[in-house]
A and B are shown apart, each in its own frame.
Chain A
Amino acid sequence: MNPGGGELHSAHAAHVTAEAVARRSYGKLVALLAMRTRDVAAAEDALADAFAAALADWPRHGCPANPEGWLMTVARRRAIDGARHRRVGDEVTNQLAILADEIDQREAGALPDRRLALLFACTHPALDAAIRTPLMLQVVLGLDAKTVASAFLTSPSAMAKRLARAKTKIREAGIPFTVPEPEELPGRIDAVLQAVYAAYAEGWTDPVGGDTVRRDLADEALFLAQLLVELLPDEPETLGLLALMLYAQARRDARRDAEGNYVPLSAQDPAAWNAPMIDTADALLRRASTFQAIGRFQLEAALQSAHVYRCRTGRPNWDAVVQFYDALLSIAASPVVAVNRAIALGQRDGPQAALDALARYEDDARLSDYQPYWAARADLLARVGATREALEAYDVAIGLERDPAVRRFLQGKRSELTPT
């Protein structure tokens, strides 16, 4: 073997190790570095330097036995240098020095996991709700601003600015890196779960996986939800969220046929679903129910479970579905829930009952650009024979849809109404 090839090989190995550490440890290392200083941006800079140093050093000297510890040592040294350079005051430098001592006292490979505290900081109610999910993706998982921006349909420079503003607020306003006290937890966990769910929803809307960035986002969100279940095993809503996401993930690929056409839930083949994933979701939901504290995500997961049961057995359970939606409306009322409830009502009591239930939302501005509302309305109107209004509703739905496959599906439904 020639020396050049060996070098190439070790460079590759170093890269692979660095990438694996990045995925697993990025948030852990940022959390440790920023815990005391609250300076997320500085922690990320230091970590980026450490990763660059690793890619230069590991191919020559081999991957260290404890890559996390190696990166942490380099990063905290950079952070201290950076703090001195910026003359941010002795306080920050001292905090970093204290941190260094604390880390040194620990066994190699046993860095404490403070990612939960980091998650609570990134989703703090004092931050703009719209930036919490992107911030979490960047700070906890290490996604770059460009990736986050493309997932949220924003320009990279605008996203980078908004992320920087949020990090500045964390530092200057003194947003703490702590897990809230048990009595405050119920009020705060919601924002964390919502941010994770929003990341998943963004990833899920790209069903064909044509856009790899979006597809990755669903996987990253699942990773975060699993992490939350590990870190907060006794939080029923956390279990509910992971269950909900797994039910959705299990059906992900069944939403398209071999030709790439959209397949609605009612036409999907349950055998094409990921059965072990559904089993895991079922088990999570059962575990959540033992805490006897119902919440939004548990109810949404229960709805998914009901859909799975109906599709697998062929036994209509719309009464149960409507009841779940009633419960959901009572704790988390939103026009979106109302639309879904009306669709279920349409299955149980007929299309007119559903249209009656939707009547009060006719002028609701929040639904005016919500595609599923217009698609549901079109379908219901067609079923009661109001063809002209149904066609109009289909036009709006088709105009609002981003996904070409779903657009084709709606266009097909529309053309069924106008026999030529």
Chain B
Amino acid sequence: MQYLLMIYSEEDGWNKMTDGERQQGVAAYQAYTESLRKADVLLGSNRLQNTNTATTVRLVDGKAQVLDGPYSDSKEQLAGYYLIDVPDLDAAIAWASRCPGAAHGLMEVRPIWPTATYAQTAA
């Protein structure tokens, strides 16, 4: 099954770090990505720019309404993701718990909707 591991963290945390700490952080993520690759479960991953670069868009009366900022104003914001393919939720949780994001923020684990059942309702 495919799962999206989403990293939620406080953006300020990164800015408050020393250069040395930031380098350590980057190295930890590189090592984690490498171990996902070696285990042959990684389908894709990206780090996102901070939410001060985010723009929210929705149609209102057929016209695009564009707003500055992220959709949710919670303290922890989506900072990046890993898309993985593993046998079950336990394996996905195990990988999520190894991610550096689980230590400096939190991880949300969501299964990907299988394409064959797109038309079905979410029960």
Q: Do A and B bind each other?
A: yes
- Residue from the list B3, B90, B116 in contact with A180, Cβ < 8 A: B90
Nearest chain-A residue to B114 (Cβ)?
A89
Q: Which residue of B lies closest to A125 (CB)?
A: B93
A176 located at the interface, meaning its Cβ lies under 8 Å from any Cβ of chain B in the complex: yes
Which secondary structure dominates where chain B touches chain A?
A: mixed
Q: Which residues of chain B from 50 to 82 have any CB-CB distance to chain A below 8 Å in the complex?
A: none
Residue interface bits A168-197, CB-to-B below 8 A is 1, else 0: 100011111010100000000000000000
Cα–Cα distance between A25 and B87 once the two chains are bound (Å): 28
Contact between B90 and A176 (Cβ–Cβ < 8 Å)? yes
Distance in angstroms from A31 CB to nearest chain B CB is 15
- Is B105 at the interface (CB under 8 A from chain A)? no
Measured CA separation A164–B123 after assembly (Å): 9
Chain B positions 84 through 109: 1 when the CB is less than 8 Å from some CB of chain A, otherwise 0: 00011110110000000000000000
**Chain B interface bracket (under 10, 10 to 19, 20 to 34, 35 or more):** 10 to 19
Which of A89, A164, A173, A180 sits near B111, CB closer than 8 Å? Answer: A173
Measured CB to CB, the nearest residue on chain B to A167 is B123
Q: Would you call A175 and B89 a contact (CB within 8 A)?
A: yes
A-side contacts of B117, CB under 8 Å: 88-89
Cβ of A275 under 8 Å from chain B: no
Size band of the interface chain A makes with B: 10 to 19
In the complex, whether B1 has a CB less than 8 A from a CB of chain A is yes
- Residues in B with CB closer than 8 Å to A88 are 117
CB–CB B92/A174 < 8 A: yes
Report whether B93 and A126 are in contact in the complex, using a CB–CB cutoff of 8 Å. yes
Complex Cα–Cα for A175 and B90 (A)? 7
Identify which of residues 19-47 in chain B touch chain A, using a CB-to-CB cut-off of 8 Å: none
Tell whether, in the assembled complex, residue A174 and residue B89 are in contact, meaning their CB atoms are under 8 Å apart: yes
In chain A, what residue has the closest Cβ to B94?
Answer: A184
Question: A176 to B87, Cβ gap below 8 A?
Answer: yes
Are B88 and A176 neighbours in the complex by a CB distance under 8 Å? yes
Q: In the bound complex, how far is the Cα of B111 from the Cα of A180, in angstroms?
A: 20
Of residues 70 to 100 in A, which have CB atoms within 8 Å of B's CB atoms? 88-89
Expressed in whole angstroms, the minimum distance between the Cβ of A282 and any Cβ of chain B is: 37
Given A89-B114, A89-B117, A174-B111, also A126-B89 (CB < 8 A): yes
A174 to B111, CA, bound (A): 8
A177 → chain B closest CB, angstroms: 9
User: Which residues of B sit under 8 angstroms from A180, Cβ to Cβ?
Assistant: 90
**A34 to B: closest C-beta gap in Å:** 13
Chain A nearest CB: distance from B14 CB in Å?
29
Per-residue contact bits, chain A 349-360, to B (CB 8 Å; 1 contact, 0 not):
000000000000
Contacts of A173 in B (CB 8 A): 89, 111
Contacts of B93 in A (CB 8 A): 126
Contact A174 to B1, CB < 8 A, known contacts A88-B117, A126-B93: yes
Distance of A122 from chain B, by nearest CB (Å): 14
Report the bound CA distance from A126 to B90 in whole Å: 9
15 residue pairs from A and B, CB less than 8 Å apart: A88-B117, A89-B114, A89-B117, A164-B123, A168-B123, A172-B111, A173-B89, A173-B111, A174-B89, A174-B92, A174-B111, A175-B88, A175-B89, A176-B87, A176-B89
